[in-house]
Amino acid sequence: MTGRADREEDYMKKRNERVERYEKDLQDLRVNDGEEYNQLKIKLETDVQVGGALVIRLAVSSPVIASTCNLISRTADTGTAAATDEGHLPAESGETRIQFPSFEEKR
């Protein structure tokens, strides 16, 4: 019987070592994923800021883009739909009406 008891003891020691190693590996992965997440978040925030600056420059150079940006901004503030039922942006005085393609959900 001592042979079996020794094998069981060896098995339990190896199992505990394996569990400790897996826990350490899991913790290392959590730390690495957290660092990668933070780097990606900073990059995306920077990209959004750069994109916002580009939109502002485009809006200054083009009245159509400016009116569209204003409409989008007002829509975001009020939570209303940006386009009318026909898929057109409402034209303000002296502006050209822009028609966007309708994107219907395919089922």
Q: Read off the pLDDT of each residue in 19-44 and give the average, rounded to a whole number.
A: 93
- Predicted confidence (pLDDT) per residue in 10-21, tens digit: 999 999 999 999
CA distance 100 to 107: 21
Q: How far apart are CA 38 and CA 36, in angstroms?
A: 5
Three-state DSSP at 99 gives strand
Q: How far apart are the first and last CA of the chain?
A: 66
- pLDDT, tens only, 36-69: 999 999 988 888 887 777 777 766 777 776 677 6
Kindly report whether the global pTM for this prediction surpasses the value 0.75. Answer: no
Every domain of the chain and the residues it spans: 2-61, 64-96
